[in-house]
Protein backbone atom coordinates (compact mmCIF):
# COMPACT_ATOMS: atom_id res chain seq x y z
CA UNK A 1 0.00 0.00 0.00
CA UNK A 2 1.39 3.39 -1.02
CA UNK A 3 1.25 6.13 1.59
CA UNK A 4 -0.81 9.11 0.38
CA UNK A 5 0.38 12.63 1.24
CA UNK A 6 -1.42 15.96 1.41
CA UNK A 7 -1.11 19.44 2.93
CA UNK A 8 -3.37 20.99 5.56
CA UNK A 9 -3.66 24.11 7.69
CA UNK A 10 -6.16 23.24 10.44
CA UNK A 11 -5.31 24.15 14.03
CA UNK A 12 -3.80 21.14 15.83
CA UNK A 13 -6.46 21.00 18.54
CA UNK A 14 -9.34 21.01 16.04
CA UNK A 15 -8.14 18.57 13.39
CA UNK A 16 -10.21 15.39 13.25
CA UNK A 17 -7.66 12.62 12.80
CA UNK A 18 -6.62 9.27 14.24
CA UNK A 19 -3.37 10.92 15.36
CA UNK A 20 -1.62 14.29 15.35
CA UNK A 21 2.16 14.64 15.64
CA UNK A 22 3.86 17.48 17.48
CA UNK A 23 7.40 18.12 18.65
CA UNK A 24 8.97 18.91 22.01
CA UNK A 25 12.61 19.94 22.52
CA UNK A 26 14.77 18.96 25.45
CA UNK A 27 14.46 21.15 28.58
CA UNK A 28 10.69 21.06 28.06
CA UNK A 29 10.52 23.61 25.22
CA UNK A 30 7.27 23.08 23.31
CA UNK A 31 6.87 23.85 19.62
CA UNK A 32 4.01 26.14 18.64
CA UNK A 33 1.74 23.20 17.70
CA UNK A 34 2.57 21.35 20.92
CA UNK A 35 1.85 24.49 22.96
CA UNK A 36 -1.56 24.86 21.27
CA UNK A 37 -2.45 21.25 22.05
CA UNK A 38 -1.17 21.61 25.60
CA UNK A 39 -3.38 24.65 26.13
CA UNK A 40 -6.44 22.87 24.70
CA UNK A 41 -5.76 19.79 26.85
CA UNK A 42 -5.35 21.72 30.09
CA UNK A 43 -1.57 21.45 30.37
CA UNK A 44 -1.40 17.69 29.76
CA UNK A 45 1.83 17.78 27.73
CA UNK A 46 3.66 20.06 30.19
CA UNK A 47 2.71 17.81 33.09
CA UNK A 48 4.19 14.80 31.31
CA UNK A 49 7.34 16.80 30.54
CA UNK A 50 7.64 17.80 34.21
CA UNK A 51 7.11 14.21 35.37
CA UNK A 52 9.83 12.97 32.98
CA UNK A 53 7.44 10.86 30.89
CA UNK A 54 8.25 13.09 27.90
CA UNK A 55 12.01 13.66 27.69
CA UNK A 56 12.34 15.57 24.45
CA UNK A 57 15.28 13.35 23.50
CA UNK A 58 15.74 13.30 19.72
CA UNK A 59 13.60 10.59 18.15
CA UNK A 60 11.81 9.58 21.35
CA UNK A 61 8.03 9.25 21.10
CA UNK A 62 5.13 9.29 23.55
CA UNK A 63 1.49 8.54 22.73
CA UNK A 64 -1.26 10.45 24.55
CA UNK A 65 -4.61 8.74 23.99
CA UNK A 66 -7.81 10.78 23.63
CA UNK A 67 -6.73 13.89 25.55
CA UNK A 68 -9.69 16.06 26.63
CA UNK A 69 -10.14 19.19 24.55
CA UNK A 70 -8.39 17.75 21.49
CA UNK A 71 -10.38 16.51 18.47
CA UNK A 72 -7.80 13.91 17.43
CA UNK A 73 -7.96 10.40 18.90
CA UNK A 74 -4.25 10.40 19.75
CA UNK A 75 -1.35 12.80 20.10
CA UNK A 76 2.13 11.51 19.25
CA UNK A 77 4.70 13.71 20.98
CA UNK A 78 8.08 13.47 19.23
CA UNK A 79 11.35 14.46 20.90
CA UNK A 80 13.44 16.97 18.92
CA UNK A 81 16.58 17.05 21.06
CA UNK A 82 18.41 20.24 22.01
CA UNK A 83 16.87 23.28 20.33
CA UNK A 84 20.11 25.21 19.81
CA UNK A 85 21.73 22.38 17.81
CA UNK A 86 18.64 21.36 15.82
CA UNK A 87 19.63 20.90 12.17
CA UNK A 88 18.63 19.25 8.88
CA UNK A 89 19.98 15.79 9.77
CA UNK A 90 18.12 15.82 13.09
CA UNK A 91 14.94 16.93 11.33
CA UNK A 92 15.17 13.93 9.02
CA UNK A 93 15.87 11.58 11.93
CA UNK A 94 12.89 12.68 14.03
CA UNK A 95 10.55 12.34 11.05
CA UNK A 96 11.80 8.78 10.44
CA UNK A 97 11.33 7.84 14.11
CA UNK A 98 7.89 9.48 14.16
CA UNK A 99 6.81 7.46 11.12
CA UNK A 100 8.09 4.25 12.70
CA UNK A 101 6.06 4.96 15.83
CA UNK A 102 2.99 5.72 13.70
CA UNK A 103 3.48 2.38 11.97
CA UNK A 104 3.12 0.61 15.31
CA UNK A 105 -0.22 2.28 16.01
CA UNK A 106 -3.58 1.10 14.63
CA UNK A 107 -4.17 4.32 12.68
CA UNK A 108 -5.12 4.80 9.03
CA UNK A 109 -4.49 8.55 8.90
CA UNK A 110 -2.47 11.17 10.73
CA UNK A 111 -1.58 14.87 10.62
CA UNK A 112 2.01 15.96 11.24
CA UNK A 113 2.93 19.38 12.61
CA UNK A 114 6.62 18.48 12.55
CA UNK A 115 6.69 20.12 9.11
CA UNK A 116 6.29 23.47 10.90
CA UNK A 117 9.46 23.00 12.97
CA UNK A 118 12.05 25.56 11.95
CA UNK A 119 15.22 24.16 10.33
CA UNK A 120 18.04 26.69 9.85
CA UNK A 121 18.42 27.69 6.21
CA UNK A 122 15.52 25.55 4.96
CA UNK A 123 12.10 26.62 3.72
CA UNK A 124 8.67 25.04 4.05
CA UNK A 125 8.87 23.18 0.72
CA UNK A 126 12.16 21.55 1.78
CA UNK A 127 10.74 20.59 5.19
CA UNK A 128 7.66 18.97 3.65
CA UNK A 129 9.72 17.14 1.03
CA UNK A 130 12.22 15.71 3.53
CA UNK A 131 9.43 14.79 5.96
CA UNK A 132 7.43 13.02 3.25
CA UNK A 133 10.47 11.09 1.98
CA UNK A 134 11.46 10.14 5.53
CA UNK A 135 7.94 8.93 6.33
CA UNK A 136 7.61 7.03 3.06
CA UNK A 137 10.95 5.33 3.73
CA UNK A 138 9.91 4.31 7.24
CA UNK A 139 6.48 3.15 6.07
CA UNK A 140 7.91 0.92 3.30
CA UNK A 141 7.13 -2.77 3.62
CA UNK A 142 8.66 -5.42 1.41
CA UNK A 143 5.52 -6.70 -0.29
CA UNK A 144 6.77 -9.56 -2.48
CA UNK A 145 6.82 -11.84 0.52
CA UNK A 146 7.08 -15.61 0.24
CA UNK A 147 5.62 -16.45 3.63
CA UNK A 148 1.96 -16.49 4.78
CA UNK A 149 0.48 -13.12 5.65
CA UNK A 150 -0.92 -12.40 9.09
CA UNK A 151 -4.66 -12.13 8.45
CA UNK A 152 -5.26 -10.35 11.76
CA UNK A 153 -2.91 -7.51 10.84
CA UNK A 154 -3.82 -4.17 12.42
CA UNK A 155 -4.88 -1.07 10.53
CA UNK A 156 -2.01 0.42 8.52
CA UNK A 157 -1.21 4.07 7.98
CA UNK A 158 -2.54 5.05 4.55
CA UNK A 159 -2.70 8.86 4.56
CA UNK A 160 -0.49 11.51 6.11
CA UNK A 161 -1.15 15.25 6.06
CA UNK A 162 1.59 17.81 6.67
CA UNK A 163 0.83 21.18 8.20
CA UNK A 164 2.03 23.67 5.59
CA UNK A 165 0.83 26.35 3.21
CA UNK A 166 0.44 26.13 -0.53
CA UNK A 167 4.04 27.33 -0.96
CA UNK A 168 5.10 23.80 0.02
CA UNK A 169 3.09 22.06 -2.71
CA UNK A 170 6.06 21.90 -5.09
CA UNK A 171 8.14 20.18 -2.44
CA UNK A 172 5.39 17.66 -1.79
CA UNK A 173 4.99 16.91 -5.50
CA UNK A 174 8.72 16.29 -5.80
CA UNK A 175 8.62 14.05 -2.74
CA UNK A 176 5.85 11.90 -4.21
CA UNK A 177 7.83 11.40 -7.43
CA UNK A 178 11.14 10.70 -5.70
CA UNK A 179 9.44 8.35 -3.23
CA UNK A 180 8.05 6.35 -6.16
CA UNK A 181 11.57 6.04 -7.54
CA UNK A 182 12.97 4.99 -4.16
CA UNK A 183 10.27 2.33 -3.75
CA UNK A 184 10.95 1.06 -7.30
CA UNK A 185 14.64 0.71 -6.45
CA UNK A 186 14.07 -0.89 -3.04
CA UNK A 187 11.59 -3.45 -4.33
CA UNK A 188 13.88 -4.46 -7.19
CA UNK A 189 16.92 -4.82 -4.90
CA UNK A 190 15.03 -6.68 -2.16
CA UNK A 191 13.77 -9.41 -4.48
CA UNK A 192 15.58 -12.76 -4.25
CA UNK A 193 18.03 -13.51 -7.08
CA UNK A 194 16.01 -16.49 -8.32
CA UNK A 195 13.34 -13.91 -9.23
CA UNK A 196 15.36 -10.76 -9.95
CA UNK A 197 17.76 -11.92 -12.65
CA UNK A 198 18.93 -9.93 -15.72
CA UNK A 199 15.83 -10.82 -17.75
CA UNK A 200 13.56 -9.72 -14.88
CA UNK A 201 15.23 -6.30 -14.61
CA UNK A 202 14.86 -5.90 -18.38
CA UNK A 203 11.15 -6.79 -18.16
CA UNK A 204 10.57 -4.24 -15.37
CA UNK A 205 12.30 -1.51 -17.39
CA UNK A 206 10.23 -2.37 -20.48
CA UNK A 207 7.00 -2.37 -18.47
CA UNK A 208 7.78 1.08 -17.07
CA UNK A 209 8.58 2.44 -20.51
CA UNK A 210 5.35 1.08 -21.98
CA UNK A 211 3.32 2.81 -19.27
CA UNK A 212 4.88 6.25 -19.81
CA UNK A 213 4.89 8.87 -22.51
CA UNK A 214 8.27 10.16 -23.74
CA UNK A 215 10.00 6.96 -22.55
CA UNK A 216 11.43 4.15 -24.66
CA UNK A 217 13.39 1.02 -23.79
CA UNK A 218 15.77 -1.16 -25.75
CA UNK A 219 17.41 -4.38 -24.57
CA UNK A 220 20.51 -6.05 -26.00
CA UNK A 221 20.80 -9.80 -25.46
CA UNK A 222 23.95 -11.92 -25.40
CA UNK A 223 24.13 -12.32 -29.17
CA UNK A 224 23.69 -8.60 -29.85
CA UNK A 225 26.38 -7.71 -27.32
CA UNK A 226 28.77 -10.30 -28.77
CA UNK A 227 28.29 -8.81 -32.23
CA UNK A 228 29.11 -5.32 -30.89
CA UNK A 229 32.17 -6.49 -28.93
CA UNK A 230 31.16 -6.45 -25.26
CA UNK A 231 34.05 -8.78 -24.43
CA UNK A 232 34.49 -7.72 -20.82
CA UNK A 233 30.81 -7.83 -19.79
CA UNK A 234 30.17 -11.14 -21.52
CA UNK A 235 33.15 -12.78 -19.81
CA UNK A 236 31.61 -12.06 -16.39
CA UNK A 237 28.28 -13.52 -17.50
CA UNK A 238 29.69 -16.76 -18.91
CA UNK A 239 29.38 -18.85 -15.76
CA UNK A 240 25.63 -18.34 -15.28
CA UNK A 241 22.60 -19.95 -16.90
CA UNK A 242 20.88 -16.56 -16.44
CA UNK A 243 21.99 -14.78 -19.59
CA UNK A 244 23.05 -11.12 -19.52
CA UNK A 245 21.12 -8.11 -20.73
CA UNK A 246 22.09 -4.53 -21.50
CA UNK A 247 19.09 -2.34 -20.75
CA UNK A 248 18.80 1.21 -22.12
CA UNK A 249 15.94 3.52 -21.13
CA UNK A 250 15.48 6.91 -22.78
CA UNK A 251 13.33 9.85 -21.64
CA UNK A 252 12.73 12.75 -24.00
CA UNK A 253 11.72 15.56 -21.68
CA UNK A 254 14.00 18.24 -23.15
CA UNK A 255 14.56 19.89 -26.50
CA UNK A 256 14.92 17.76 -29.62
CA UNK A 257 18.58 17.12 -30.27
CA UNK A 258 19.72 18.26 -26.82
CA UNK A 259 22.40 15.95 -25.45
CA UNK A 260 21.09 13.74 -22.64
CA UNK A 261 22.36 13.17 -19.15
CA UNK A 262 23.22 9.50 -18.76
CA UNK A 263 23.10 7.26 -15.69
CA UNK A 264 24.81 3.85 -15.66
CA UNK A 265 24.19 1.30 -12.89
CA UNK A 266 25.96 -1.94 -11.99
CA UNK A 267 23.43 -4.78 -12.24
CA UNK A 268 25.06 -7.93 -10.84
CA UNK A 269 21.90 -9.72 -9.74
CA UNK A 270 23.92 -12.19 -7.67
CA UNK A 271 27.65 -12.12 -7.06
CA UNK A 272 29.19 -15.37 -5.88
CA UNK A 273 32.64 -14.01 -6.73
CA UNK A 274 32.95 -16.48 -9.60
CA UNK A 275 36.10 -18.64 -9.54
CA UNK A 276 37.49 -16.24 -6.88
CA UNK A 277 34.64 -17.47 -4.67
CA UNK A 278 33.45 -15.28 -1.82
CA UNK A 279 33.30 -16.61 1.77
CA UNK A 280 29.98 -18.31 2.51
CA UNK A 281 29.13 -16.12 5.51
CA UNK A 282 27.12 -13.14 4.33
CA UNK A 283 27.01 -14.23 0.70
CA UNK A 284 23.22 -14.00 0.78
CA UNK A 285 23.63 -10.21 0.82
CA UNK A 286 25.11 -10.39 -2.67
CA UNK A 287 21.62 -10.21 -4.14
CA UNK A 288 22.07 -6.49 -3.39
CA UNK A 289 24.99 -6.26 -5.82
CA UNK A 290 22.57 -4.83 -8.37
CA UNK A 291 21.94 -1.85 -6.06
CA UNK A 292 23.55 0.52 -8.56
CA UNK A 293 21.18 -0.67 -11.29
CA UNK A 294 18.21 -0.33 -8.92
CA UNK A 295 19.38 3.14 -7.91
CA UNK A 296 19.76 4.57 -11.42
CA UNK A 297 16.46 2.98 -12.50
CA UNK A 298 14.77 4.55 -9.45
CA UNK A 299 16.29 7.93 -10.28
CA UNK A 300 15.04 7.54 -13.86
CA UNK A 301 11.52 6.79 -12.55
CA UNK A 302 11.67 9.86 -10.28
CA UNK A 303 12.83 12.12 -13.12
CA UNK A 304 10.03 10.93 -15.40
CA UNK A 305 7.40 11.32 -12.67
CA UNK A 306 8.63 14.87 -11.96
CA UNK A 307 8.36 15.63 -15.67
CA UNK A 308 11.84 17.12 -15.75
CA UNK A 309 12.65 19.27 -18.77
CA UNK A 310 15.74 17.39 -19.93
CA UNK A 311 16.74 14.36 -21.96
CA UNK A 312 17.89 11.40 -19.92
CA UNK A 313 19.20 7.91 -20.61
CA UNK A 314 19.71 5.07 -18.17
CA UNK A 315 21.99 2.16 -19.06
CA UNK A 316 22.06 -1.03 -16.97
CA UNK A 317 24.48 -3.89 -17.63
CA UNK A 318 22.78 -6.85 -15.93
CA UNK A 319 24.61 -10.14 -15.29
CA UNK A 320 25.00 -12.90 -12.74
CA UNK A 321 28.55 -13.80 -11.61
CA UNK A 322 28.76 -17.55 -10.97
CA UNK A 323 31.44 -20.30 -10.91
CA UNK A 324 31.08 -22.86 -13.69
CA UNK A 325 33.11 -24.88 -16.19
CA UNK A 326 32.72 -21.98 -18.62
CA UNK A 327 33.47 -19.19 -16.10
CA UNK A 328 36.16 -16.67 -16.79
CA UNK A 329 39.34 -17.19 -14.75
CA UNK A 330 42.05 -15.24 -12.97
CA UNK A 331 44.78 -14.63 -15.60
CA UNK A 332 42.30 -14.43 -18.50
CA UNK A 333 42.82 -11.43 -20.78
CA UNK A 334 39.63 -9.76 -22.01
CA UNK A 335 39.11 -7.32 -24.86
CA UNK A 336 36.65 -4.64 -23.82
CA UNK A 337 34.21 -2.78 -26.06
CA UNK A 338 36.63 0.16 -26.03
CA UNK A 339 39.42 -2.03 -27.41
CA UNK A 340 41.48 -1.87 -24.20
CA UNK A 341 42.62 -5.27 -22.96
CA UNK A 342 42.16 -6.29 -19.33
CA UNK A 343 44.08 -8.86 -17.31
CA UNK A 344 41.75 -10.54 -14.82
CA UNK A 345 43.51 -10.94 -11.47
CA UNK A 346 40.33 -11.58 -9.49
CA UNK A 347 36.92 -12.63 -10.83
CA UNK A 348 35.28 -11.01 -7.81
CA UNK A 349 36.25 -7.60 -9.20
CA UNK A 350 33.53 -8.08 -11.79
CA UNK A 351 31.49 -4.91 -11.37
CA UNK A 352 34.11 -2.77 -13.05
CA UNK A 353 34.31 -5.30 -15.90
CA UNK A 354 30.66 -4.89 -16.80
CA UNK A 355 30.65 -1.15 -16.13
CA UNK A 356 33.60 -0.45 -18.43
CA UNK A 357 31.71 -1.83 -21.43
CA UNK A 358 28.48 -0.11 -20.38
CA UNK A 359 30.24 3.24 -19.95
CA UNK A 360 31.88 2.88 -23.36
CA UNK A 361 28.49 2.03 -24.91
CA UNK A 362 26.79 4.97 -23.15
CA UNK A 363 29.44 7.43 -24.29
CA UNK A 364 29.41 6.19 -27.91
CA UNK A 365 25.62 5.98 -28.16
CA UNK A 366 24.51 9.18 -26.42
CA UNK A 367 27.44 11.66 -26.40
CA UNK A 368 26.14 12.74 -22.99
CA UNK A 369 26.27 16.15 -21.31
CA UNK A 370 27.36 14.26 -18.22
CA UNK A 371 27.83 10.58 -17.41
CA UNK A 372 27.33 9.28 -13.86
CA UNK A 373 27.62 5.66 -12.75
CA UNK A 374 26.48 4.11 -9.48
CA UNK A 375 27.75 0.77 -8.23
CA UNK A 376 28.11 -1.38 -5.14
CA UNK A 377 31.70 -1.64 -6.28
CA UNK A 378 34.16 -2.20 -3.42
CA UNK A 379 34.32 -3.50 0.11
CA UNK A 380 37.18 -1.02 0.53
CA UNK A 381 34.65 1.80 0.24
CA UNK A 382 32.73 0.42 3.23
CA UNK A 383 35.96 0.33 5.25
CA UNK A 384 36.75 3.92 4.26
CA UNK A 385 33.35 5.57 4.73
CA UNK A 386 31.11 3.10 6.55
CA UNK A 387 27.36 3.02 5.94
CA UNK A 388 26.63 6.75 5.97
CA UNK A 389 28.35 8.35 2.98
CA UNK A 390 28.48 7.33 -0.67
CA UNK A 391 31.95 7.68 -2.19
CA UNK A 392 32.17 10.14 -5.06
CA UNK A 393 35.02 10.22 -7.55
CA UNK A 394 35.45 12.53 -10.52
CA UNK A 395 38.16 14.48 -12.34
CA UNK A 396 35.60 17.23 -13.00
CA UNK A 397 35.36 19.58 -10.03
CA UNK A 398 32.17 21.22 -11.27
CA UNK A 399 30.34 17.89 -11.69
CA UNK A 400 31.59 16.68 -8.31
CA UNK A 401 30.33 19.91 -6.70
CA UNK A 402 26.90 19.48 -8.32
CA UNK A 403 26.55 15.94 -6.99
CA UNK A 404 27.82 16.82 -3.51
CA UNK A 405 25.34 19.72 -3.35
CA UNK A 406 22.48 17.42 -4.41
CA UNK A 407 23.46 15.02 -1.64
CA UNK A 408 23.46 17.80 0.96
CA UNK A 409 20.07 19.06 -0.25
CA UNK A 410 18.45 15.62 0.06
CA UNK A 411 20.58 14.36 2.99
CA UNK A 412 21.54 11.44 0.72
CA UNK A 413 25.12 12.52 1.19
CA UNK A 414 28.35 11.71 -0.62
CA UNK A 415 32.02 12.32 0.17
CA UNK A 416 34.63 12.93 -2.47
CA UNK A 417 37.70 10.69 -2.73
CA UNK A 418 40.74 11.56 -4.91
CA UNK A 419 41.06 10.20 -8.41
CA UNK A 420 44.68 11.19 -8.92
CA UNK A 421 46.83 9.67 -11.63
CA UNK A 422 49.28 8.68 -8.88
CA UNK A 423 47.05 5.66 -8.18
CA UNK A 424 46.98 4.44 -11.81
CA UNK A 425 50.35 2.69 -11.47
CA UNK A 426 48.68 0.10 -9.21
CA UNK A 427 46.69 -1.13 -12.22
CA UNK A 428 49.70 -1.84 -14.43
CA UNK A 429 49.82 -5.27 -16.09
CA UNK A 430 52.56 -7.17 -17.86
CA UNK A 431 50.04 -9.00 -20.04
CA UNK A 432 47.34 -6.45 -20.97
CA UNK A 433 46.63 -2.72 -21.08
CA UNK A 434 45.29 -2.76 -17.52
CA UNK A 435 44.72 -5.15 -14.60
CA UNK A 436 41.27 -5.38 -13.03
CA UNK A 437 42.50 -4.85 -9.45
CA UNK A 438 45.16 -2.62 -7.94
CA UNK A 439 46.13 -4.46 -4.78
CA UNK A 440 45.21 -3.98 -1.12
CA UNK A 441 45.65 -0.25 -0.66
CA UNK A 442 43.16 2.37 -1.86
CA UNK A 443 40.82 -0.29 -3.29
CA UNK A 444 37.86 2.03 -3.83
CA UNK A 445 40.06 4.61 -5.55
CA UNK A 446 41.85 2.17 -7.84
CA UNK A 447 38.43 0.82 -8.90
CA UNK A 448 37.48 4.38 -9.84
CA UNK A 449 40.82 4.77 -11.64
CA UNK A 450 40.05 1.62 -13.63
CA UNK A 451 36.69 3.06 -14.76
CA UNK A 452 38.29 6.40 -15.61
CA UNK A 453 40.29 4.67 -18.36
CA UNK A 454 36.99 3.96 -20.16
CA UNK A 455 35.54 7.47 -19.79
CA UNK A 456 38.29 9.49 -21.44
CA UNK A 457 36.88 12.72 -22.84
CA UNK A 458 33.64 12.36 -20.88
CA UNK A 459 32.32 14.61 -18.11
CA UNK A 460 32.03 11.66 -15.75
CA UNK A 461 31.58 10.85 -12.07
CA UNK A 462 31.51 7.56 -10.18
CA UNK A 463 29.42 6.79 -7.09
CA UNK A 464 30.49 3.79 -4.99
CA UNK A 465 27.41 2.85 -2.96
CA UNK A 466 28.75 -0.39 -1.47
CA UNK A 467 28.20 0.99 2.04
CA UNK A 468 24.93 2.83 1.48
CA UNK A 469 22.79 0.65 -0.81
CA UNK A 470 21.49 -1.72 1.85
CA UNK A 471 21.26 -2.25 5.60
CA UNK A 472 23.37 -5.03 7.05
CA UNK A 473 21.99 -8.15 8.73
CA UNK A 474 19.64 -10.97 7.87
CA UNK A 475 16.65 -8.63 7.89
CA UNK A 476 18.46 -5.73 6.25
CA UNK A 477 16.61 -4.10 3.36
CA UNK A 478 17.73 -2.05 0.39
CA UNK A 479 17.83 1.66 1.20
CA UNK A 480 17.02 3.07 -2.23
CA UNK A 481 20.16 5.21 -2.22
CA UNK A 482 21.32 7.09 -4.28
CA UNK A 483 17.91 7.74 -5.88
CA UNK A 484 17.32 10.98 -3.96
CA UNK A 485 20.80 12.33 -4.69
CA UNK A 486 20.57 11.60 -8.42
CA UNK A 487 16.97 12.82 -8.68
CA UNK A 488 17.96 16.13 -7.05
CA UNK A 489 20.99 16.46 -9.34
CA UNK A 490 18.73 15.98 -12.37
CA UNK A 491 16.15 18.37 -10.93
CA UNK A 492 18.84 21.03 -10.51
CA UNK A 493 19.99 20.52 -14.11
CA UNK A 494 16.38 20.75 -15.34
CA UNK A 495 15.82 24.06 -13.54
CA UNK A 496 18.92 25.75 -14.96
Cβ neighbors of 253 (< 8 A, separation 6 or more) are 214, 303, 304, 307, 308, 309, 310, 311, 312, 494
Listed residue (318, 354, 348) closest to 330, CA to CA: 348
Q: How many CB atoms lie within 10 A of CB 350?
A: 29
How far is Cα 300 from Cα 279, in angstroms, rounded to an integer? Answer: 34
Which of 214, 278, 395, 459 is flagged as catalytic? 278
Q: 315 pairs with which residues across the strands?
A: 248, 264
DSSP string, 178-203: HHHHHHHHHHHHHS-TTTSSHHHHHH
Q: Tell me, yes or no, if 149 is annotated catalytic.
A: no
Q: Tell me, yes or no, if 90 is annotated catalytic.
A: no
Which of 183, 243, 352, 481 is flagged as catalytic? 352
How far is Cα 62 from Cα 177, in angstroms, rounded to an integer? Answer: 31
How far is Cα 164 from Cα 116, in angstroms, rounded to an integer? Answer: 7
How far is Cα 439 from Cα 8, in angstroms, rounded to an integer? Answer: 57
DSSP string, 250-309: EEE-S-TTPPPEEEEE-EEEEE--TTSPPPSTTGGGGGGGGHHHHHHHHHHHHHHHHT-S
Cβ neighbors of 12 (< 8 A, separation 6 or more) are 20, 22, 33, 36, 37, 70, 72, 111, 113, 163
**Contact by Cβ (8 Å): 467, 385:** yes
Q: How many CB atoms lie within 10 A of CB 84?
A: 8
The catalytic site residues sit at 278, 352
Amino acid sequence: MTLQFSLGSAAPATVDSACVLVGVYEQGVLTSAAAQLDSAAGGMIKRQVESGDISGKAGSTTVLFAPAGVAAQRVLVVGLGAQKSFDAARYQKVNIEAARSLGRLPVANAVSYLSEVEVPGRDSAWRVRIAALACDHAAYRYTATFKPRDKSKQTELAALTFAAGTDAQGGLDQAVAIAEGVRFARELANLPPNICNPAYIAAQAQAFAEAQGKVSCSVLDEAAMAKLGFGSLLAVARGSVNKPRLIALEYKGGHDGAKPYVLVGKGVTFDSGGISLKPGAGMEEMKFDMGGAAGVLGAFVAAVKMGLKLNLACVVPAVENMPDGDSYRPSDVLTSLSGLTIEVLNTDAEGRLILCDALTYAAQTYQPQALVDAATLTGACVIALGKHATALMSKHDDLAAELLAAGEETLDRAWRLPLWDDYQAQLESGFADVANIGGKSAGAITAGCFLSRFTDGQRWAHLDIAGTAWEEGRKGLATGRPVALLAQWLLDRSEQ
